[in-house]
């Protein structure tokens, strides 16, 4: 089943995967993997770099090892974005 | 005038003097915008930028100690904030410490490896990100024939340059699929501030093996680097090109 009602993180991820894999018909399957989307190992590196740039986060390779599927990866990304926002708010409150 | 690098953005490390300076100026001559990297507070880097500007080129100083991850990251950000990308990275920053192996201090060994090898690793790590995104890039590592032949009194330098050559080949096989080429240029004896402290004996030994019976110039090395940066070199990757008057 495809993820529906896309939020910014999902949209961003989908756009980046489409661009990197040169396939505009990518559908994010919650139980799927990058490999199933036609992404090779260098494509995955490129996707991670693009996500870091687009979302302003840092993706830690060691943390990815325990992520089994696309749904978990999206949750991971959302967590990173929320963490960045929290840190950003804390920074401005301290000013 | 050859302007085939117009629209490209280059980062040249260790570009305040010597071979790095010549490379920065040559890339700018060919139309590239150039970030001139060297250690912070290096007035020579400012002079290179001014010289490029006076010739109608575009350049900025991007100061950073290449062994410092945070500083390199900041320098790369400075460049991408200014020009949006980096197309060409020339890992030129390097130092040499002359001493026979058993007299090398741990600190000297670490300094040489850190600048010549870790520096290239860090600069490439950060600059490669924009190359991956745009699907085009050139990484050109300034190695040395010492990394191939070794040499009396500079084991640490030879080890660092040998490592840089292996780094070149490894990275080339990884990123070629993304249209990024990675090559090493291995100069022989080129007279610069870094090499002028070589003993006369070492110079004479080099000269005796030189087919052209002269030392190289930084401009000659820069010409090869500039060629590797162009689309004319699009099918060359993972190579170590010696520019040494037939010494190797």
Report pLDDT digits (tens) over B182-231.
Answer: 999 999 989 887 677 777 887 888 889 999 999 999 999 999 999 999 99
Please compute, for residue B82, the number of CA atoms within 13 A of its CA located in the half-sphere on the CB side.
Answer: 19
Q: How many CB atoms lie under 10 A from the CB of residue B136?
A: 18
Domain A8-93 has CATH 1.10.1200.10: yes
Q: What pLDDT sits at residue B46? A: 97
Mind giving me the DSSP string for B54-70? HTT--EEE----TT-HH
Listed by start position, the domains of chain A span 8-93
Interatomic CA distance for residues B79 and B174, integer angstroms: 24
Q: Which of A42, A50, A53 sits opposite B178 (nearest CB)?
A: A42
| Residue of chain A minimizing CA distance to B129 | A49
Residue B4 covered by a domain: no
On chain B, the residues whose CB falls within 8 A of the CB of A46 are 132-133, 178
- CA of A40 vs chain B CAs: smallest distance (Å): 10
On chain A, the residues whose CB falls within 8 A of the CB of B182 are none
Residue A1 forms contact with B (CB below 8 Å): no
Residue B133 forms contact with A (CB below 8 Å): yes
Which CATH number is B128's domain given? 3.40.50.720
Residue B59 covered by a domain: yes
- Contact (Cβ atoms closer than 8 angstroms) between residue B67 and residue B123: no
Question: Total structural domains in chain B?
Answer: 1
Q: Which two tokens stand for residue A85?
A: 């926002």
Look at A76-85, B25-34, B69-78, B84-93 and tell me which has the smallest mean pLDDT: A76-85
Report pLDDT digits (tens) over B88-139.
Answer: 999 999 999 989 999 999 999 999 999 999 999 999 999 999 999 899 999 9
- The ipTM of this complex is 0.75
- Domain hosting B23: range is 9-243
What separation in angstroms does the CA of B229 have from each of B4, B8, B24, B139, B166? 10, 10, 12, 8, 20
Residue B229 covered by a domain: yes
Interatomic CA distance for residues B101 and B220, integer angstroms: 31
- Contact (Cβ atoms closer than 8 angstroms) between residue B24 and residue B5: no
């Amino acid at each position: 089943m495809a993820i529906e009602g896309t939020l910014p993180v999902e949209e961003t991820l989908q756009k980046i995967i489409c661009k990197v894999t040169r396939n505009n018909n990518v559908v994010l399957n919650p139980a799927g993997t990058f490999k199933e989307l036609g992404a090779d190992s260098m494509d995955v590196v490129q996707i991670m770099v693009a996500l870091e740039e687009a979302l302003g986060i840092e993706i830690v390779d060691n943390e990815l090892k325990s992520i089994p599927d696309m749904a978990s990866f999206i949750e991971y990304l959302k967590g990173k974005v929320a963490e960045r926002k929290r840190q950003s708010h804390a920074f401005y409150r301290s000013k | 005038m050859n302007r085939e690098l117009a629209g490209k953005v280059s980062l040249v490390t260790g570009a305040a003097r010597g071979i790095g300076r010549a490379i920065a100026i040559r890339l700018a001559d060919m139309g590239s915008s150039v970030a001139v990297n060297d250690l912070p507070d290096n007035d020579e880097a400012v002079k290179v930028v001014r010289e490029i500007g006076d010739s109608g080129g575009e350049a900025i100083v991007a100061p950073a100690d290449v062994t410092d991850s945070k500083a390199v990251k900041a320098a790369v950000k400075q460049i991408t904030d200014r020009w949006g990308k980096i197309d060409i990275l020339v890992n030129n920053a390097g130092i040499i410490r002359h001493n026979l192996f058993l007299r090398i201090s741990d600190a000297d060994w670490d300094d040489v490896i850190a600048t010549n090898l870790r520096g290239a690793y860090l600069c490439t790590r950060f600059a490669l990100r924009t190359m991956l995104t745009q699907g085009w890039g050139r990484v050109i590592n300034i190695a040395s024939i010492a990394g191939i032949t070794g040499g009396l009194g500079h084991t640490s330098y030879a080890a660092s340059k040998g490592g840089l050559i292996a780094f070149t080949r490894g990275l080339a096989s990884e990123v070629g699929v993304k249209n990024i080429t990675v090559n090493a240029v291995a100069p022989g004896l080129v007279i610069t501030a870094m090499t002028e402290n070589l003993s006369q004996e070492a110079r004479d030994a080099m000269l005796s093996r030189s087919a052209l019976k002269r030392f190289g110039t930084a401009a000659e090395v820069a010409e090869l680097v500039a060629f590797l940066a162009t689309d004319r070199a699009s099918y060359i990757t993972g190579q170590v090109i010696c520019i040494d008057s037939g010494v190797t």
